[in-house]
Chains A and B, each alone.
Chain A
């Protein structure tokens, strides 16, 4: 355990050493934004829209009471999406998609000696391979989460429009209610997302980069990356919620 922690910290230290050539690293950064972020956008939008729709139906059916106004549904959906669903659940989904991708990519590069080739050339392989991934995720994941929030609300709105479960106006009123709190909640969600982005990319990179063995170990590294990223996201979620919301 201490051995793993030490290597993980060393990996992060090496990552911040001076790039050999800034323009090459910049290109890698842009490529990683596309690879890790833009290519995950579709699944995030799809999940968020359906989750928003389901949340509306579930909430509306749970609070069928004449004493509770309809806009409560919109308010509840907003709070759920902003505080937990978008930053945490979407990050867990990204841990599965992006984490396994990173671990298997770096693991395959290790097995096929591509990382050794970089080292022999005199390239800081950790800085070149892992640095842009972490920076790109820190940049693009919060943007993805903002999209997730928007499409989650949209999904809920579409369900209201199609099923008349509650009037759309009431739903929108709920979304807009207590707007003075929204800024703080969005900031909380984005801080959480940034921490999760760092955990997903760094933990997955660690498992891929330090892989030993062959194809079988690439699969194991990929699984470990997802499992450990998810566990650390859940821990970090609890700690950040305690620190930022109370």
Chain B
């Protein structure tokens, strides 16, 4: 489990996160949702240690991230997998080398074992016979799947996905969502997904945090979200005239 407690963060006196607290549960897909610029990515960067919060703490189980030394932080980070918005695959490395990268860097596995693990991860995300291709030769959906394979190659305890569906067609987006949910259940990991895609919210949102203007405005599950009476959340969900009408009628 990951807990964030009273996290605040400002840039040039502009408050991006304002006293956010939330628990991200193990074995569940935990979603952070909100409008663009609401502070979702900043919260995630604070959680993985790419940014230091001004106030508050992040806890991995009972371990306080800010109290760790650089070496200890690195150990925590080895338990993290992260899928970035633009996939962030290394351009100069092939698909196989991208997935093998953390294994080569942090394990003493033999070359054969590394290739076996790479193939297992790529098969898990349905990427077959593409080992020697470079990221620029793959479609957006394939790049996301390779990035997921790289994220799970070290068998992480925590998986972070920053807008995994951005730039994908609705069908591929659902495939990626399903994959994230399956992996979460299969490996019983704590998954944190940032999204503003309502399809994803209703599909995989076991535990949802809604942020608006840097504040925790609502939390619950996909089964509760449509019945919420929080104005900001309803404005976010029922954005089209059609959906507004649907809400009125119900």
Residues of A within 8 A of B73 (CB): 122
Given contacts A113-B84, A114-B88, A114-B91, contact A120 B50 (CB under 8 A): yes
Residue of A nearest to B75 (CB): A122
**A162 sits at the interface (CB 8 A):** no
Chain B, residues 92-105, CB within 8 Å of chain A (1/0): the string is 00000000011011
A108 to B135, CA, bound (A): 14
B37-54 interface bits toward A, Cβ cutoff 8 Å, 1 = contact, 0 = none: 000000000001110000
Q: Which residues of A contact B86 (CB under 8 A)?
A: 112-113
- CB < 8 Å neighbour of B88 from A24, A112, A123: A112
In the assembled complex, which residues on chain A have CB atoms less than 8 Å from the CB atom of B48? 120
Contact B105 A120 (CB under 8 A): no
Pairs A–B under 8 Å by Cβ, sample size 15: A20-B106, A21-B105, A24-B104, A108-B91, A113-B85, A114-B89, A116-B88, A117-B82, A117-B88, A119-B77, A120-B49, A120-B77, A121-B78, A121-B80, A122-B78
In the complex, the chain A residue whose C-beta lies closest to that of B84 is A113
Main secondary structure of the interface of A (DSSP, over half): helix
CA distance A227 to B101 in the complex (A): 34
Q: How far is the CB of B106 from chain A (nearest CB, A)?
A: 7
Q: Indicate whether B59 reaches chain A with its CB closer than 8 angstroms.
A: no
B90 at the interface (CB under 8 A from A): yes
Question: Is B130 interfacial (CB-CB < 8 Å)?
Answer: no
Q: Are B74 and A122 in contact (CB under 8 A)?
A: yes
Who on chain A is nearest to B82 by CB? A120
A117 to B86 CA separation, bound complex (whole angstroms): 11
The chain B residues found within 8 Å of chain A, CB to CB, are 48-50, 73-75, 77-78, 80, 82, 84-86, 88-91, 101-102, 104-106, 160
CA gap between A109 and B84 in the complex, in Å: 13
Q: Which residues of A contact B75 (CB under 8 A)?
A: 122
Contacting B at CB under 8 A, from A117-143, are 117, 119-123
Q: Are A121 and B88 in contact (CB under 8 A)?
A: no
Contact residues in B for A119 (Cβ distance below 8 Å): 49-50, 77
**Cα(A120)–Cα(B162), bound, Å:** 13
Q: How far is the CB of B42 from chain A (nearest CB, A)?
A: 13
CB <8 Å contact, A116 and B106: no
Nearest-Cβ distance from residue A29 to partner chain B, whole angstroms: 15
Contacts of B89 in A (CB 8 A): 114
Question: What is the CA–CA distance of A24 and B104 in the complex, to the nearest angstrom?
Answer: 7
Contact A20 B90 (CB under 8 A): no
A120–B73 CA distance with the chains assembled, in angstroms: 10
Min CB–CB distance A120 → chain B (angstroms)? 5
CA–CA, A222 and B86, complex, Å: 23
B residues within 8 A CB of A24?
104-105
Instruction: Add 9 more A-B contacts to A122-B74, A122-B78, A122-B106 (CB < 8 A).
Output: A108-B91, A112-B86, A113-B88, A117-B88, A119-B77, A121-B78, A121-B101, A121-B102, A122-B77
Question: Whole-angstrom distance between the alpha carbons of A226 and B101 in the complex?
Answer: 31
- A121's partner among B85, B91, B105 (CB-CB below 8 A) is B105
A117's contact among B74, B84, B105, by CB below 8 Å, is which? B84
Q: Which residues on A sit within 8 Å (CB–CB) of B50?
A: 116, 119-120
**Residues on the A chain within 8 Å of B105, using CB:** 20-21, 24, 121, 123
Interface centre among A112, A117, A119, A123 (most CB of B within 10 A): A117
Residue of B nearest to A20 (CB): B105
Closest CB of chain A to B182's CB: distance in Å? 22
Q: How far is the CA of A109 from the CA of B87 in the complex (A)?
A: 12
B residues less than 8 Å from A20 (CB atoms):
105-106
From A21, A116, A121, A123, name the one whose CB has the most chain B CB atoms within 10 angstroms: A121
Bound-state Cα–Cα, A151 to B50, Å: 49
- Residues of B near A122 (CB, < 8 A) are 73-75, 77-78, 80, 106
Alpha-carbon gap, A121 to B159, bound state (A): 11
Q: Do the beta carbons of A120 and B90 come within 8 Å of each other? A: no
With a CB–CB cut-off of 8 A, which chain B residues contact A120?
Answer: 48-50, 77, 80, 82, 160
Cross-chain contact A114 with B90 (CB below 8 angstroms): yes
**Known contacts A20-B105, A20-B106, A116 near B78 by CB under 8 Å:** no
Q: Roughly how many angstroms separate A109 CA and B86 CA in the complex, as a whole number?
A: 11
B48 to chain A, nearest CB (A): 5
Residues of A within 8 A of B85 (CB): 113
